C-alpha cells in the first residue's frame, strides 16, 4: 500500500504580504453622507513581509493573538487568497497560480467550519472525496481503516454531519483532509472547543501523521498544551508581522523570564527596596513579592539568591511562568515592538514631510 511510505513536501514563504482595500466612514452624520458619494478608501495590511519555511516532515506552530494574520497567511498558502506581494511555494506548487494542483498536495482543517457535506453521513462525504481526488478504492478503504483505528470514526461515520458533536465532526474533517494522502497539512485551530479526551486523541493522531508518515504540518492554535506537545518550532506573528521564528526554548528564553519570588520576612518592619534587576511588586506586612525588572533581570535562581542574601526570610517560594504566561508576554512584547516600529515610522514620516 502506498500509505506505508513516507511522503514529503515543504512550505516556502518569502516576503508574503496581503493588503485589503476597503472604505471607511467619516465621522459625524455629514461625514457619513459624504462617504456615500465620495468614499474614503483605506488600505488594511493583514500580513506584511512575512518570511519562513517549513521543512518536509516538520510540524510548525504559527502563533499570534486574534487578528494577528495567521488565518490570512494560511488562506494564502492554501490557495484561497491571492497574495498582494511575496512568494509562496507549497510542495513545489505556487498555490494561487495552480489552485487545483495545489489542492491535491494539501489537506486543510478549519476547526470552526466543516468541509463535509452537511446533509450526508460522513462516510458518504469520504466516498465523494475519494472520487474527486481519484483515490483507488483499495487505497481508500485501507486509509479509512487506519484513520478509524486512530480516531474511532466507525461508531459515528454513518451519522449525518449535521447531527455529529463538535469532536466527532472535527475528527471526520481530519480524516477527510488526509484521505488523499497529502504531503502538506494546514490546521487552523483544529481542537477548538473539544473536550480534553478528544483533544488528546487528535494530538496523538497529528503526532502520528508527522512522525510516522512524514507529513509537513502548519498548525495555528491558542492551546499552549498543544504547542508544547506537538511543535518543536514556532513562528510568532503579530499585527501581520513576523516577530519571531525559533524553537519553543528560544521563545521561552526571549519572553519567558517571568517569575515571582514570594518571601516572608523574619522582621515584618524591615525596609525593603528594589535589587538590581528585581522589582518589589507587592508588600503586605512581612509578605513581599519580587519580580523581574528591565531587560537585564536575573534568572529566577539568581533572584532567589539575591533576596536571601539581602533579607532575612522565614519562608520563600518561587513561581515560574508556564507556556501560557510566556506567550502572553510574547504577544504583549510583540505588540509593544510593533507600536514602537509604527511610532518610529510616523516620526520618520513626519520629519520627512
Partner 1 sequence: MDHRSAPWNAVRVAWRITKLNFRAQLEYRAEFLLMIAIGAIWQVSVIVFATVLLTRFSGMGGWDSADVLLIAAMRMMAHGLFVLFLGRMHALAYRVQEGVIDAFLLRPMPVHRQVQLSFFPTNAIGDLTVAVALFIGALVRSSQEWTAGRIAFLIAGVLGGMLVEAALFTAMGSASLRYPAAQYWSRWLEELLGTFGSYPLNVLPKALSWLLTFGLPLAFVAYFPAGVLTGHGSALGVPMWLAAASPLIGLGLYLLSRLLWSWSLKHYTGVNG
| Per-position x/- string for 159-188, each x denoting binding to partner 1 as judged by CB under 8 A, each - no binding | -x----------------------------
- Of 256, 331, 344, 272, the C-alpha closest to 306 is 272
Contact 112/190 with Cβ under 8 angstroms? no
Give the pairing of strands 241-247 and 233-238: antiparallel
- Of 86, 88, 90, 124, the C-alpha closest to 104 is 90
| Per-position x/- string for 5-24, each x denoting binding to partner 1 as judged by CB under 8 A, each - no binding | ---------------x----
Looking at the Cβ atoms of 133 and 338, the one nearer to partner 1 is: 133
| C-alpha cell recorded at residue 256 | 519567558
Smallest gap, in angstroms, from Cβ of residue 74 to partner 1? 10
How many binding residues for partner 1 (CB under 8 A)?
A: 36
> What residues numbered 270-329 form the site for partner 1, per CB under 8 A?
none
79 near partner 1 (CB under 8 A): yes
- The secondary structure of residue 70, as a DSSP letter, is H
100 near partner 1 (CB under 8 A): yes
Contact 90/183 with Cβ under 8 angstroms? no
Looking at the Cβ atoms of 22 and 339, the one nearer to partner 1 is: 22
Among 13, 81, 217, 219, binds partner 1 (CB under 8 A): 81
According to DSSP, the residues that pair with 107 across neighbouring strands are 185
d(CA 265, CA 169): 55
Among 119, 137, 312, 315, binds partner 1 (CB under 8 A): 119
d(CA 215, CA 218): 10
83 near partner 1 (CB under 8 A): no
| Per-position x/- string for 123-142, each x denoting binding to partner 1 as judged by CB under 8 A, each - no binding | -x--xxx-xxxxxx------
| C-alpha cell recorded at residue 307 | 533576596
Give every CB contact of residue 188 below 8 A, 6+ residues apart in sequence.
70, 71, 74, 108, 109, 110, 111, 112, 220
> What residues numbered 25-54 form the site for partner 1, per CB under 8 A?
46
Looking at the Cβ atoms of 185 and 248, the one nearer to partner 1 is: 185
- Of 200, 181, 176, the C-alpha closest to 127 is 176
Q: Within 10 A of 278 (CB to CB), how many other CB atoms are there?
A: 22
Q: Within 10 A of 258 (CB to CB), how many other CB atoms are there?
A: 18
71 near partner 1 (CB under 8 A): yes
75 near partner 1 (CB under 8 A): yes
Among 52, 110, 205, 311, binds partner 1 (CB under 8 A): 110
CA 61 to chain centre: 5
State whether residue 19 is helix, strand or coil.
strand
Looking at the Cβ atoms of 115 and 225, the one nearer to partner 1 is: 115
Looking at the Cβ atoms of 116 and 307, the one nearer to partner 1 is: 116
Looking at the Cβ atoms of 108 and 234, the one nearer to partner 1 is: 108
78 near partner 1 (CB under 8 A): yes
- Of 103, 330, 104, the C-alpha closest to 236 is 330
Smallest gap, in angstroms, from Cβ of residue 178 to partner 1? 13
Q: What residue ranges bind partner 1 (CB under 8 A)? A: 20, 46, 71-72, 75, 78-82, 99-101, 103-104, 106, 108, 110, 112-115, 117, 119-120, 124, 127-129, 131-136, 160
Amino acid at each position: 500500500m502506498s500509505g506505508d511510505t513516507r511522503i514529503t513536501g515543504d512550505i516556502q514563504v518569502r516576503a508574503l504580504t496581503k493588503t485589503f482595500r476597503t472604505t471607511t466612514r467619516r465621522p459625524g452624520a455629514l461625514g457619513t453622507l459624504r462617504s456615500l458619494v465620495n468614499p474614503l478608501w483605506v488600505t488594511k495590511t493583514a500580513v506584511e513581509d512575512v518570511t519562513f519555511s517549513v521543512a518536509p516532515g516538520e510540524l510548525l506552530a504559527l502563533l499570534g493573538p486574534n487578528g494577528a494574520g495567521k488565518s490570512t497567511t494560511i488562506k494564502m498558502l492554501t490557495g484561497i487568497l491571492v497574495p498582494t506581494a511575496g512568494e509562496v511555494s507549497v510542495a513545489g506548487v505556487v498555490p494561487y497560480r495552480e489552485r487545483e494542483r495545489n489542492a491535491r498536495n494539501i489537506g486543510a482543517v478549519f476547526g470552526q467550519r466543516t468541509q463535509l457535506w452537511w446533509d450526508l453521513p460522513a462516510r458518504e462525504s469520504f466516498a465523494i472525496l475519494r472520487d474527486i481526488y481519484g483515490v483507488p478504492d483499495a487505497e481508500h478503504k485501507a486509509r479509512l481503516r487506519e484513520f478509524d483505528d486512530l480516531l474511532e470514526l466507525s461508531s459515528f461515520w454513518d451519522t449525518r454531519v449535521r447531527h455529529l458533536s463538535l469532536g466527532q465532526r472535527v475528527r471526520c474533517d481530519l480524516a477527510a483532509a488526509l484521505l488523499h494522502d497529502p504531503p502538506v497539512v494546514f490546521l487552523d485551530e483544529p481542537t477548538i472547543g473539544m473536550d480534553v479526551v478528544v483533544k488528546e486523541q487528535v494530538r496523538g493522531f497529528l503526532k502520528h501523521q508527522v512522525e510516522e508518515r512524514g507529513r509537513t504540518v502548519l498548525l495555528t492554535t491558542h492551546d499552549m498544551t498543544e504547542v508544547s506537545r506537538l511543535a518543536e518550532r514556532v513562528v510568532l506573528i503579530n499585527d501581520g508581522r513576523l516577530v519571531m521564528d525559533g524553537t519553543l526554548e528560544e521563545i521561552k528564553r526571549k519572553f519567558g523570564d517571568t517569575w515571582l519570588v514570594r518571601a516572608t520576612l523574619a522582621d515584618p518592619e524591615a525596609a525593603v527596596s528594589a535589587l538590581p534587576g528585581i522589582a518589589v511588586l507587592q508588600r503586605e506586612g512581612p509578605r513581599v513579592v519580587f519580580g523581574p525588572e528591565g531587560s537585564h533581570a536575573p534568572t529566577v535562581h539568581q533572584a532567589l539568591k539575591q533576596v536571601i542574601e539581602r533579607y532575612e526570610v522565614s519562608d520563600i517560594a518561587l513561581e515560574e511562568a508556564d507556556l501560557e504566561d510566556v506567550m502572553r508576554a510574547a504577544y504583549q512584547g510583540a505588540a509593544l515592538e510593533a507600536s514602537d516600529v509604527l511610532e518610529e515610522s510616523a516620526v520618520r514620516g513626519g520629519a520627512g514631510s
